[in-house]
Amino acid sequence: MGFIKNILSVIGGIVILGMLFAYVKFDLGTRMDQISKLDPQAIGTFAEMGDHLLATGNSAESMVKKVMIDDAVSTEDLIANLNEIAITKNFKVVGDQTMSTSGVDADGQKTKYIRIVSFCSPGIAKQFVDYSAAFGAFMPCRILIVEDDDGHRWMYTMSMELMLFGGHTLPPEMMKQATHVRDTMYLMLNEAGKEDGNF
pLDDT, tens only, 5-55 = 455 444 544 554 455 455 555 565 677 777 778 888 888 888 888 888 888
DSSP run (H or E) holding 139: none
Q: In this prediction, what percent of the chain has a pLDDT beyond 70?
A: 85
**pLDDT (0 to 100) of residue 17:** 45
Residue 177: is its pLDDT beyond 50?
A: yes
Residue 154: is its pLDDT beyond 90?
A: yes
d(Cα 119, Cα 84) in Å, to the nearest integer?
12
d(Cα 166, Cα 84) in Å, to the nearest integer?
30
Give alpha helix (H) positions in 57-121: 75-88
Total-model pTM: 0.80
Which amino acid, one-letter code, is at 40?
A: P
pLDDT, tens only, 133-150 = 999 999 999 999 999 999
Give alpha helix (H) positions in the chain: 2-26, 28-36, 42-56, 75-88, 122-131, 161-165, 172-191
pLDDT, tens only, 47-90 = 888 888 888 889 889 899 999 999 999 999 999 999 999 999 99
Which amino acid, one-letter code, is at 165?
A: F
Which amino acid, one-letter code, is at 58?
A: N
- Residue 2 or 152, more confident: 152
Give the length of the chain: 199
**pLDDT (0 to 100) of residue 20:** 44
- Residue 29 or 116, more confident: 116
Helix axes 28-36, 2-26, angle to 10 degrees: 60
